[in-house]
Chain A
């Protein structure tokens, strides 16, 4: 059982489609038949969710690359990149947690506003630290040299 409680009724529909295909000898790949919007659609489907998903993965990979970057090339460039990537990755991550556990329009709006505030303050604080203090890379190095 998955503790991330989401369900999509549309997935039931596509499962029916798959079952039908498997019953026949289908010469065409499944992906060629099923696609989102087309001229036969009454309305169009927003790509926002899909782009968000891709954005999340891109930031994750960038953040991964910043590990070795911070180790081998510490300095302001990596400091500020790290501040941005960490904040964005955390913001989107917590956003997913809230989406999973918070229900009801007004509550969702409220917690997301709170998260936005938190992330803004976090980014501001990290940039302030980078500018006025030793910076993220140096801070980690100093912490570990204990």
Chain B
């Protein structure tokens, strides 16, 4: 069998497996992916059902929510930046404009929650992601536990942000 150590390499050809590192691939992962899609699109193959048939799990839902909040927040920031460039008048002017609509406290809190929760959730779940990036917390019970912590804290901090400020 192959035993390797830095600087030495014993290679048994009949196993045809690896020396001190993997056999170099002829194509990159990117090239392979593009080939896959080109072939299947050309043959007009339908995609197998996936999201519609597999059982949804909490980690799955949290993952796509992380993506959804990220895209939403990014879109919001871009929209804000675009409006800043395009609209005449300054920010306090438009804020007063919104104030004068006299929306009512319930709707106001709802709107604040609508901003606070995506920020809160994406931030807290982002920290969870960074823990994963450091290699920690991959055991399934840990994944679910950290997930519940993120959800609860997101709701609590959003409510705190509305009530406190």
Contacts and interface: CB of A to CB of B under 8 A. Distances in A.
Interface of A: 1-4, 6-10, 13-14, 16-17, 20, 23-24, 26, 28, 32-36, 38, 40-43, 57, 60-61, 64, 67, 86-87, 90, 93-94, 97, 103-105, 118-119, 121-126, 128-129, 132-134, 139, 142-146
For the residues of A in contact with B, the DSSP-based class is: helix
B110 interface: no
Scoring B18, B73, B81 by chain A CB atoms within 10 A of each residue's CB, the highest score goes to B81
A41 B24 contact: yes
Interface string B154-165: 000000010001
A134 B90 contact: yes
A17 B18 CA distance: 7
Contacts of B127: 64
B23 A43 contact: no
Scoring A1, A20, A40, A61 by chain B CB atoms within 10 A of each residue's CB, the highest score goes to A1
B74 to A, nearest CB: 4
B123 to A, nearest CB: 7
B75 to A, nearest CB: 9
B21 A41 contact: yes
B22 A139 contact: no
Contacts of A133: 84, 90-91
B15 to A, nearest CB: 8
B29 interface: yes
Contact of A36 (B21, B34, B77): B21
A60 B70 contact: no
A128 B21 contact: no
Nearest to B17: A20
A20 B77 contact: no
B43 interface: no
Nearest to A38: B21
A35 B15 CA distance: 20
Interface in B1-39: 1-6, 9, 17-25, 29, 32-34, 37-38
B33 A10 contact: no
Interface string B76-103: 0110111111000011100100010000
Contacts of A42: 24
A104 B144 CA distance: 36
B21 A94 contact: no
Contacts of B73: 90
Nearest to B34: A105
A28 B20 CA distance: 12
B92 to A, nearest CB: 7
Nearest to B86: A125
B50 interface: yes
Contact of B74 (A24, A36, A94): A94
